[in-house]
Amino acid sequence: TPPISPFAIRFDAEAATLSPEGPTLERRMSDLEGLFADHDAWQAAVADGDPVVYRVQSSPVPEADRELPQSITTIERGTTAGECWMTKGHQHPNHQGEIYLALHGTGGLLMFDGDRVEWLDMTPGTIGYIPPGWAHRSVNVGDEPYSFLAVYPGGAGHDYGWVLEHGMGNRIHRTGDGFALRPYSA
Ligand code: M6P
Ligand code: ZN
C-alpha cells in the first residue's frame, strides 16, 4: 500500500464518531463463538435474533505497516448467562502497543500476556495503555453502551486464535451491584 497524504480527521467524542469514515465492522453474537463460558446460552442468543454485540467504526487510515489507524468501538449493554458483553479480544502477532481512550459509558480493559492478568477500569477520559505482548479485550460493565477510541500501529494485526487457545485469564460477570472478575476455567 502506498503511503497516504496528510489529512484532518474530525473526532466527535460526544457522538463517538470519526469523519471522514473508513470501514465499519458489525459483530453479532454469532461472531463470538467459543468466547462465552456458557455455550448453550450463546447458542440460544444466536437463535434468538443474533443481536449486534458491538460495532467498530474506523477512519480511512489503512491497516498497513507504519500507518497509525484509529477506530471507535461501541459495545452494547448485555450479558450472556451473566457474562458481560465484550469484544472478541486479540493479540498482536508482532507484539506492538496500542492505546484506548474511553468516551462514554462504563467499561474495562482486560489484558492477558499468557501468564499475568490486568484489569483497567475505563471511564470517560481514561487512556488505557496496552503494552506489546498483551492480548486485549474490552468489556461493557455499565448500564448503557460503552464507547472507546483506539489508536494502533497499522501493521499490528489481529490474532483471534491466540485468545481461543489461551483465553483471557479472567471472565467478567455482572453481579447484583456491579461486576466481578472470575477465573477463566469457571
Ligand atoms: C478496537 C481496536 C481494533 C479492534 C476493535 C474490536 O477498536 O483494538 O483493532 O478490531 O477494538 O476488537 P476485536 O478486534 O478484538 O473484536
Ligand atoms: Zn489491538
CATH for the stretch 10-183: 2.60.120.10
Q: What are the helix (H) ranges across the chain?
A: 39-47, 161-166
> Ligand 1: which residue has its CA nearest to atom 15?
89
pLDDT for position 184: 83
Q: Residue 4: what pLDDT?
A: 83
Question: Ligand 1 centre and the CA of 56: distance in Å?
Answer: 7
pLDDT of res. 67: 96
Q: Is 59 in the pocket of ligand 1 (CB under 6 A)?
A: no
ipTM over 0.85: yes
Q: Which ligand is nearest to the CA of 87?
A: 1
Our measurement of the distance from residue 137's CA atom to the centroid of its chain's CA atoms, rounded to an integer in Å, reads 5
Q: How many CB atoms lie within 10 A of CB 14?
A: 7
Structural domain boundaries in the chain: 10-183
Q: Is the CB of 150 under 6 A from ligand 1?
A: yes
Q: Which residues of the chain have pLDDT under 70?
A: 1-3, 185-186
Residue 1 pLDDT: 60
Nearest CA to ligand 1 atom 8: 150
What pLDDT score does 82 carry? 98
Residues 119-153: tens digit of each pLDDT: 999 999 999 999 999 999 999 999 999 999 999 99
8 A C-beta contact, residue 138 and residue 119: no
Q: Which ligand is in closest contact with the Cα of 100?
A: 1
pLDDT digits (tens, 9 = 90+) for 100-114: 999 999 999 999 999
